A and B are shown apart, each in its own frame.
Chain A
Amino acid sequence: MTVTTAASRGPAEDLGTFQARAKEWVAGNLVPLDGADPFLGHATDDADQVVRAKVIQRKLFDAGFAGLCYPVEYGGRGLRAEYQDAFIGVSYGYELPRLFNMPTFTIILPTILDFGTEEQKKRFIPAALKGEELWVQFLSEPTGGSDLAGALTRADRRGDEFVLNGSKIWSTYAWKSDYALCVARTNWDVPKHKGLSVLIVKVHQPGITITQIKHVDGTDEFCQEFFDDVAVPADQVLGQVDDGWNVASRLLLHEREAMSGSSVYAMAPRTAAHENDQVSAAALAQDSGGATDPRVRQLIGEARVLTRVHAALVGRIATSIRTGRLPAAAGSIPRLSNGMMRVRLASIALEIAGDRAIAWNDDDPTGDLGVAYLGRQGPCIGGGTTEITRNIISERVLGMPREHAEDLDRPFRDVRTNAAVPRHRR
């Protein structure tokens, strides 16, 4: 495929030329992290992070480095994954608008590409690539996390709009976001999977209340939203009305790719987070002379083994799905790997840190490790629990029989849900 890009002013550059040009541009236009948190960058607070991310993303777009793997007609560059990898390589260590990475670029926009009308694609994809609009997912509900198709949030058709009522939870940085993809029930007279729709919802509008949830580690990135008669234009349904499960399934597939580090749309190194965990464990060990301690060496070695094997696995599964050796559901394999690996890395870090993980000075990095251990199970819960993931691998990769369910063969209004469970039983 020949792709014309504004920045290169001609047919697609070869990879080497692209890489050299990207490297030069990054050095001249992005700010080195210099030890700053890769996600927050040099932002002074959460609000500043949104502002900075949008400005940097706009710079990337204007220079022709945004949406490298997105189609040209929607503001992308139409390049192969190797180009994205090359850009990741040269931009490592610089402040990037990672706020856009997940879910906007790796989950939301790919789903819009899959199901959006031409108008929706032209309206929303370029706006995000330009850094104008940040997205969030409204998926889980307080009444159930793993059972997404059991959503109780309702969208009732009224004239040329839908009216949204209900609540969503575990949405990341909802208050920083501009738009959301929201799974809601549009038909209660059919089985659960057949009465859902996915709506494009403007986040900041009358009827939507957002509260932040404080996490065990003190952070408050997760939110809960309450919808009271929120109006959504009927042309902002993504995909067909009542076919939302089809759309949501694809969204979950993109989410698994993103979580496992195999998304071609990711702007950050695919395994950087894990490498960082390992490196911090090793650094810790060096502080305490750990490399001379054979017990600590076992743990450092194990951490390094886990991260490197995970990286190999991500590549193998991505290739296997591409070539048809494994079904798309195999994206759940690296998702499971990621969860189990990060759980183990958190435990290793705690192990190495010893009592400095529970009592520390202000400037002592080991304190983070104890706190991180408290939230250790997060990577095994978010993005679909590892238990659901194991169901998917055994059923859709190995072909084993599905778990029995009581809610597949009847209208959803007849299904037992948590909405009917009293808050306090005596």
Chain B
Amino acid sequence: MDLDLTPDQQLLRDTTRKFLHATVPLTAVRALAENAAGFDPGWWQRGAELGWTSLLVDERRGGGSISGEGLRDLALVAEEMGAMVSPGPLIATNVVAQTLSREASEELASHVLPGLLSGETIAAWCVSEPGHDISPDEMTLQARRDGAEFVLDGVKRPVDTGGQADWLLVTATGSDGLSQFLVPSSAPGLRITPLRGLDLVRRHVEIGFDRVRVPASAVVGVLGGAFLSLEAQLQTVLVLQCAEIVGATDRVFDFTVQYAFDRSSFGRALASYQALKHRFADMKLWLESAQAITVDATRAVQDGAPDAGEVVRIAKAYVAERCPELIQDCIQMHGGIGVTWDHDLHLYLRRVVVNRQTYGDPMHQRDSVAILADRIGEQR
């Protein structure tokens, strides 16, 4: 939780919280596990009315933030959604909307953004590839020129919300360099294969591109100039992932502390045992640290700080490493009930692990941080 919120931001947070409690309590999340999409499109449109889709989109393109700092606003929503292991394509749709707002031609933006903003359409970012880190050097999906068109070939996996999306933002490489294309999910040549997944409501797919033809007007931003776009999108995703993880972990820690007060053993509350108290003290330290670095990363990316790329990777490395462990410790504090289907603990663990494993896991982030430190060292 950011400790320095404006009244408008507090309102956004409270409104989001109330709406989530009223519409998608954990019983509803469990019920959605049987739903193919994992969320109700009508519900998502109501969320869009609260601002969930517009915060990263420029006002001139129909969007608008609450505080003038859209990413900080959206991180609050992500945190609340983490606390409720909420359904909905929050990260997938917003990261695409951000890039369309910043980089798309007027024609493309006016064609696609209104639907994303109203929640009537959904977008997904196709970036991860099997067996590769997310980095410009490792991208293999090929974009080849053919007359006035481009032909896309390759595989993306896993794609968050790819099975529900109307629009796919595809990051590709080729002789023109790193480029991005906006492709309708109905395009011929797309093979969309649903994957079984850990999260009850967040769906992932594999998407094969077999000579998928797109017009030149599908290029988002500058052809061959997507290096910075990729970095900006990644930074946004990492911030939202961290926010969602700390939102989930904060909730789990809260009810686990309460459990330690309520539950007795040998005639005493669990909370009275030093062996457990010390573990709770460690958990409190990790939680506060995770929140602190998430806030720092959010602000750094929001402000376009020179060290934003480093801070956001540090945040992901720490938060995604520490918080799943923290939740596992909370499961340990619960004993047997903690590893049952009926207890809600696993819903939270699923969500934080999904975030941990996607868009660069902690090991990948530590590697990037070391390389950045090395580069910074050389420059000095």
Contact = CB atoms under 8 A, between A and B. Distances in A.
A319 B3 contact: yes
B284 A333 contact: yes
B339 interface: no
A400 B3 contact: no
B370 A301 contact: yes
8 contacts: A286-B374, A298-B363, A313-B285, A313-B288, A333-B285, A390-B277, A397-B284, A398-B271
Contacts of B288: 313, 316-317, 333
A336 B370 CA distance: 25
Contacts of A401: 269, 271-272
Given A297-B371, A301-B368, A400-B260, A309 B292 contact: yes
Given A302-B317, A401-B272, 7 more contacts: A296-B370, A298-B366, A300-B374, A309-B314, A389-B281, A391-B278, A393-B285
B296 interface: yes
B281 A305 contact: no
B277 A308 contact: no
Interface in B330-380: 363, 365-371, 373-374, 377
A306 to B, nearest CB: 8
A1 interface: no
Contacts of A400: 260-261, 271-272, 277, 280
A312 B271 contact: no
B314 A305 contact: yes
A249 interface: no
B291 interface: yes
Contacts of B284: 333, 393-394, 397-398
Interface string B299-321: 00000000000110011011000
A262 B66 CA distance: 32
Given A297-B371, A298-B363, A309-B318, A336 B281 contact: yes
Contacts of A323: 3
Contact of B285 (A294, A301, A319, A336): A336
A300 B377 CA distance: 12
B285 A302 contact: no
Nearest 9 pairs between A and B by C-beta? A301-B366, A394-B277, A390-B281, A312-B292, A316-B292, A393-B281, A297-B370, A301-B370, A300-B370
A369 to B, nearest CB: 18
A421 B143 CA distance: 81
Contact of B278 (A298, A317, A394): A394
B257 A313 contact: no
A390 B282 contact: yes
Contacts of A317: 288, 292
B250 to A, nearest CB: 13
Contacts of A308: 293, 296, 310-311, 314
Residues of A in contact with B, size category: 35 or more
B274 A391 contact: yes
A88 to B, nearest CB: 19
A311 to B, nearest CB: 8
Contact of B277 (A309, A319, A337, A391): A391
Which of B269, B289, B293, B367 gathers the greatest number of chain A CB atoms within 10 Å? Answer: B289
A377 interface: no
Given A304-B314, A336-B285, A297 B277 contact: no
A423 B305 CA distance: 61
A315 B292 contact: yes
Contacts of A251: none
Given A398-B257, A400-B260, A304 B373 contact: yes
B85 interface: no
Contacts of B24: none
A302 B280 contact: no
Contacts of B296: 308, 312, 315
A294 B284 CA distance: 31
Contacts of B260: 400
- The CB with the most chain A CB atoms within 10 A, among B3, B292, B317, B373, is that of B292
B146 to A, nearest CB: 39
Interface in A312-357: 312-313, 315-317, 319-320, 323, 325, 333, 336-337, 340
A235 interface: no
A296 B374 CA distance: 12
A310 interface: yes
A297 B280 CA distance: 31
A48 interface: no
A316 B295 contact: yes
B277 to A, nearest CB: 4
A60 B366 CA distance: 41
Contacts of B374: 282, 286, 291, 300
A304 B374 CA distance: 11
A403 interface: yes
